[in-house]
Amino acid sequence: MEKGEIPENANDHCPGPSSEAAGKSDDCQGCPNQEACATAPKGPDPDLVAIAERMATVKHKILVLSGKGGVGKSTFSAQLSFALAAKDFQVGLLDIDICGPSIPKMLGLEGQDIHQSNLGWSPVYVESNLGVMSIGFMLPDPDEAVIWRGPRKNGLIKQFLKDVYWGELDFLVVDAPPGTSDEHISIVQFLQATGIDGAIIVTTPQQVSLIDVRKEVNFCKKVGVPVLGVVENMSGLCQSLTDFRFLRMTETGEHTDVTEKVIAYMREKAPEMQDLIAASEVFDSSGGGAEKMCSEMGVPFLGKVPLDPQLCKAAEEGKSCFADQKCGVSAPALKIIIEKLMTNYWPNEMSVE
């Protein structure tokens, strides 16, 4: 075991062998390494120096966080990366959701492997200017469960940061797991000395999601990570009226598909309706949604992205929603949010672009 490396059999929330609290904190009670850690010489973690050297070639580092799972955080990370790469920036996407790595699928990279060179691990590339790293590339079976305790997860995150050779990057987007757990503490601790631009937090409109997003905002404030803004995802279902299926419910509760009849009637009797977008509130936003929460907590509100079936399809197929006109309701909303981020935080990059 290298100096500063957390043993695989350590307790959850291990402070690390090099910490002044090693072997002494409450989290160390009952750990088989407690005595060794308590008596071991302390000092700075040499891996942090290696991480700083790797990150020296990365201009901007963005964390994408969420309070809850299933709110579209990874979809946003993927589309943000696609959009930045489309602007000719050099982009890296680092997936540190160790137990639920969905980024390889959302970038169309399932089945790819990591390769090593004399410079370190090489990212898997979607395009020449968009590289990706994920534990998903390391699993022999995509259905295999990753059953790891905190210390082992943290060790892999550290390895990603110090061993992956990204080269010169304009943006490194870090897709984190939901919540405020060991992975979040580790990524902040490992990157803090190199400078983190901030965090984008993704939520859905209802209170059950916003309750946890408040915790995420407070986490960022406590660890000193600026909140770049909050995105309200799945903000109402929006799609072309002609993309809906129309059903008639029978007296027995069964459904009969009458879509063809409805579309034919619309085409004949009201052709102007074919250009309409239908919208419906899926999640309750009567509490004011993310915009009100941002106002109360003093953080920027970046905007709303509707629940668009075409965006869901693009994510399933590992494609950019900006590549064609299919994501007609979600792509413009995402573009406005990304342009707002560029204007507010990286105006110099826009002038270069």
pLDDT digits (tens, 9 = 90+) for 272-295: 999 999 999 999 888 899 999 999
Average pLDDT in the 221-231 region? 97
Identity of residue 182? D
Q: Give pLDDT, residue 144.
A: 86
**According to the annotation, is 327 in a ligand binding site?**
no
13 pLDDT more than 80: no
What's the mean per-residue pLDDT of the chain?
Answer: 91
Helix (H, G, I), strand (E, B) or coil at 255: strand
171 pLDDT more than 70: yes
Q: 1 falls in which pLDDT band (50, 70, 90)?
A: very low
Average pLDDT in the 118-127 region? 96
**According to the annotation, is 70 in a ligand binding site?**
yes
247-249/255-257 β-pairing:
antiparallel
Q: Give pLDDT, residue 41.
A: 62
Is the Cβ–Cβ distance between 101 and 76 less than 8 Å? Answer: no
**According to the annotation, is 71 in a ligand binding site?**
yes
Average pLDDT in the 203-222 region? 95
**According to the annotation, is 74 in a ligand binding site?**
yes
Question: CA 204 to CA 289: how far, in whole Å?
Answer: 8
Question: CA 160 to CA 288: how far, in whole Å?
Answer: 39
Which tokens sit at 142?
Answer: 């995509």
**According to the annotation, is 220 in a ligand binding site?**
no
Question: CA 206 to CA 85: how far, in whole Å?
Answer: 32
Phi, psi (degrees; rounded to nearest 5) at 62 = -120, 125
Average pLDDT in the 202-216 region? 96
**According to the annotation, is 236 in a ligand binding site?**
no
Average pLDDT in the 290-310 region? 97
338 pLDDT more than 60: yes
**According to the annotation, is 295 in a ligand binding site?**
no
**According to the annotation, is 31 in a ligand binding site?**
yes
For the four alpha carbons of 233, 237, 242 and 246, in that order, the dihedral sign comes to positive
Average pLDDT in the 338-352 region? 87
